[in-house]
Amino acid sequence: MIAHLPLDEQLTALRRTLLRNETLTRVLRRAAELNLPGWYLTSGCLVQTVWNVVTGRPPAQGIKDYDLFYFDAGDPSWEAEDAVIRRGRDAFADLGAEVEIRNQARVHLWYEQRFGVPCPPHVSTEAAIDSFAVTTCCLGVRLSPGDHWRVYAPHGLSDIFNLVVRPNPVLAPAEVYAAKAARWRREWPSLTILPWPSALDSVPPP
């Protein structure tokens, strides 16, 4: 099983698997041309491609969108982010897929209104990925010059290949995790979804 391979071999398997999603590959290459600061293609589109390949489905099936994160603290205004979004809209227009571009330096400005809890300002795109509600989705990939793949995977890759959905209770509320897990279970029934930890789980034994 891929999940039991050494990490370097898992990385090779990850790249080989993601390349089977032609839409994802095109998004990666065009994102590299945009050359956004600290960018990564991240989250569901990567993990769900792996789930599809592991379960014998078409690589792009059930993928809602492709999340493209970048980090520009020099200008966290909506106007600057919107200009980047419009650039991306032109770059990805013919792919027939939704590419959602977001500046992670301004997430703290809108997060509480949307999710009901405050979000400290992120200091990098990697820090934003660390805060995802699901550790399994804490994954980012980008292309560097020379077609070099940079992979950020703070929780490793084993859960991804094992189809395990694991909570990450560092920022998002439990409701966000539950909603994602329920939606994914409908699309990928073979997922193993681990429960959100209860308050008792964090209490040390006497």
List pLDDT tens digits, range 136-151: 999 999 998 778 899 9
Q: pTM to 2 decimals?
A: 0.91
pLDDT at position 199 is 57
Edge-first strand order for the sheet with 66-70 is 99-103, 66-70, 40-42, 140-144, 148-152
pLDDT at position 144 is 84
Both tokens of 77, joined, read 């205004």
Write down the domain spans for the chain.
2-196
Share the mean pLDDT of the chain.
92
Rg (CA), the chain: 17
Longest alpha-carbon distance in the chain: 60
Q: Of the candidates 151, 196, 172, 184, which has an alpha carbon nearest to the alpha carbon of residue 48?
A: 184
Q: Of the candidates 22, 15, 11, 17, which has an alpha carbon nearest to the alpha carbon of residue 54?
A: 17
pLDDT at position 99 is 97
Number of Cβ within a 10 Å radius of residue 54: 18
Q: Write 52-56 long-range contacts (CB < 8 A, 24+).
A: 52/21, 52/188, 53/17, 53/20, 54/17, 54/161, 54/163, 55/163, 55/188, 55/190
Counting every residue, how long is the chain? 206
pLDDT at position 37 is 96
77 neighbors 109 (Cβ within 8 angstroms) = no
